[in-house]
Structure 1
Amino acid sequence: MLICRRLLLLVSFAFLTFGGSAGLALAGEVCARDDTGARLCLDQPATRIAALSPGATELVWAAGAGEQVVAVVDYSDYPPAARKVPKVGSHTRLDMERLLQLQPDLVIAWVTGNPAEQVQMLKDLELPVFSIEPRSFEAVSDTIERLATLAGTETDGFVEADRFRRGIAELREQYASAEPVPVFYQVWDEPLMTVNDEHLIGEMIQLCGGDNIFGELERLVPRISTEAVVTGNPEAILAGGMGEENRHWLTRWQAFPQLTATARDNLFFIPPSLVQRPTPRMLEGTRLFCEKLEVARARRD
């Protein structure tokens, strides 16, 4: 009962604090459209930002607004400074009471990753919620720019967005004529999961000259079987594992010597945070991914 009463008090505070946001805009108004198509306007740039996914945390820092972050969720470990910010649960279950206590004036939500009912509750309380889910390299740069606009950090944010954009363009040009390499990218182990060509990682595979053997599947992150991988016979298998140094996901494929990837020792580990978060670090991850496929090409007869 005490927690419920405290939550009601916080709800009342949030309503009084943010309830007038629909009125006349101030001179410092900033606006941006999020990835659900909703247009968000703030009377002034945000100074207390809550990032509700590890990727959102990185993107806010990339936008130059790291010092304005007052709340993150579990596994928000980059940059290192993010580890010191108060946590408000996980991306799949938010601690609403703790989040409201921190009084954010901008909440960065994950479109398909955060609980829809909790995000709606924040909107019902009239907290400014900006939902993101970049699904292409260009969208990563664009998201950084929109976040920088909302945070009033355009100078730093637009520079970082352009750095990422130019870096990807250089890699795209470098590998434009690369010979195709049939690739399986393992995004999860149990259940076994991969990505299709519409996924951001699918774009990475294509940029590097890879031919995703599951690229035409309908689901963005489809579940597959071991037999399907064996039948697809990739020339290279890349996986991230459950951590930055955990390579055990690749060991299962050593039991299938008939796979071209296994026979040629083209089983490659990629640190998951470099490819599975839609952030500027994907530039480093893409460069590493492309280098692994170059190794696979060099091992052809």
Structure 2
Amino acid sequence: MPGSGECDITMLRRLQTLAATLVVGLVTAPLVHAGVCATDATGREVCLDQPATRIAALSPGATELVWAAGAGEQVVAVVSFSDYPPGATEVTSVGSHTRLDLEKLLSLEPDLVIGWVTGNPPEQLETLWELGLPVFSIEPRNFEAVSTTIEQLATLAGTEEAGFAEAERFRQGIAELTSEYRDAEPVSVFYQVWDEPLMTVNDDHLIGKMVTLCGGVNVFGDLDRLVPRISAEAVIAADPEAILAGGMGEENRQWLTRWESFPGLTASKRGNLFFIPPSLVQRPTPRMLEGSRLFCDKLDIARTRSEDR
């Protein structure tokens, strides 16, 4: 049997052949638009001779953002857990965001790949570049970046009318919430992003910015890491007025049951243990507007509950 080195060489040659076929197809394709360019989250300018018609989205969030940009029908490849919008589940999967099937991806002949800066392994994205594929890497870290990313994707896909309208809808919705809650009474908040190990977010994370937007004060907001690990004892010591959590699934509030066993905890004592569907807050997409409204509604409920509850 051939050794692993021979297998690696064989696979590389197959990928190179597929990539060469793809590049020839791109070069000989008729140009129907002028070239388009956009600068991605890494500072790299990505230019296409014509708007992309075969897009590969390498994270569930990227998939949602491409659809938001009006280019859903142009998506030919996604990764696992790309479950929104419903049409995304019908698109060919090329592995997970951490482990791509490069041969399968290349066989789909994408003319634009949407990468995830902190989610996709850098070496995989660089391999795609080396094979001749244009890779546009995204990493929205604030609300405005969500809108800007949608606009950039719409530009690269030639769907500016739909994409720019959606970007502005999100931008205006966030602006309205910001104005509504600018002077809201502060509520101390713990947001649980994971259960085992117990994890939260700091103020630089987009979810942390949602807490702030709604007048919340993140009790772990000043920690250095975007998604720090913490202990239950740290939560008890911080004694938040409200605890918000997602869970393993859109309707599973099991993560909150841990805190019900601490009746002296202010959030538990007041009944301020709130479930938030994770898909509305844990992907940097326009659905964060719906998630933000839900956050704000929950904190409004916390404000109305007295200390004696």
Q: What amino acid is aligned across from residue 268 of structure 2 in structure 1? A: T
2:274 aligns with 268
2:22 aligns with 17
Q: What amino acid is aligned across from residue 159 of structure 1 in structure 2? A: A
What is the Cα deviation at residue 204 of structure 1? 0.4
Q: Once the two structures are superposed, what CA deviation does each residue of 1:259-288 show, in whole Å capped at 9, x if it has no partner?
A: 100001100000000000000000000000
1:48-59 to structure 2, matched below 5 A, reads 48-59=54-65
Aligned sequence identity (%) = 71
TM-score by length of 1: 0.95
What is the Cα deviation at residue 15 of structure 1? 3.3
What is the Cα deviation at residue 20 of structure 1? 10
Q: CA contact under 8 A between 1:122 and 1:129: conserved in structure 2?
A: yes
1:1-301 to structure 2, matched below 5 A, reads 5=10, 8-15=13-20, 17-18=22-23, 28-301=34-307
* CA–CA separation in structure 1 for the residues paired with 2:109 and 2:24: 13
Q: CA contact under 8 A between 1:7 and 1:97: conserved in structure 2?
A: no
RMSD: 1.8
Gaps of 5+ in 1: none
What is the Cα deviation at residue 17 of structure 1? 3.4
* CA–CA separation in structure 2 for the residues paired with 1:208 and 1:15: 51
What is the Cα deviation at residue 114 of structure 1? 0.6
What is the Cα deviation at residue 115 of structure 1? 1.3
Q: What amino acid is aligned across from residue 225 of structure 1 in structure 2? A: S
Q: What amino acid is aligned across from residue 18 of structure 1 in structure 2? A: V
* CA–CA separation in structure 1 for the residues paired with 2:16 and 2:170: 39
Cα pair distance change 1:174/1:283, threshold 3 Å: same
Q: What amino acid is aligned across from residue 93 of structure 1 in structure 2? A: R
* CA–CA separation in structure 1 for the residues paired with 2:169 and 2:64: 15
What is the Cα deviation at residue 19 of structure 1? 7.8
Q: CA contact under 8 A between 1:54 and 1:74: conserved in structure 2?
A: yes
Q: What amino acid is aligned across from residue 297 of structure 1 in structure 2? A: R
* CA–CA separation in structure 1 for the residues paired with 2:306 and 2:43: 47
Q: CA contact under 8 A between 2:15 and 2:102: conserved in structure 1?
A: no
Q: Once the two structures are superposed, what CA deviation does each residue of 1:121-174 show, in whole Å capped at 9, x if it has no partner?
A: 101112000000101000000000000000000000000000000000001111
Q: What amino acid is aligned across from residue 98 of structure 2 in structure 1? A: T
* CA–CA separation in structure 1 for the residues paired with 2:175 and 2:55: 31
* CA–CA separation in structure 1 for the residues paired with 2:24 and 2:54: 17
The 3-state SS of whatever aligns with 1:93 is: coil
Q: CA contact under 8 A between 1:186 and 1:192: conserved in structure 2?
A: yes
Cα pair distance change 1:167/1:176, threshold 3 Å: same
* CA–CA separation in structure 2 for the residues paired with 1:16 and 1:102: 11
The 3-state SS of whatever aligns with 1:265 is: coil
Q: CA contact under 8 A between 1:19 and 1:126: conserved in structure 2?
A: no
Q: CA contact under 8 A between 1:21 and 1:42: conserved in structure 2?
A: no
TM-score by length of 2: 0.93
* CA–CA separation in structure 1 for the residues paired with 2:37 and 2:222: 37
What is the Cα deviation at residue 12 of structure 1? 2.2
What is the Cα deviation at residue 13 of structure 1? 3.0
The 3-state SS of whatever aligns with 1:94 is: coil
The 3-state SS of whatever aligns with 2:113 is: strand
Q: Once the two structures are superposed, what CA deviation does each residue of 1:13-58 show, in whole Å capped at 9, x if it has no partner?
A: 3135338989xxx761000000000000000000000000000000
Q: CA contact under 8 A between 2:185 and 2:215: conserved in structure 1?
A: yes
The 3-state SS of whatever aligns with 2:153 is: helix
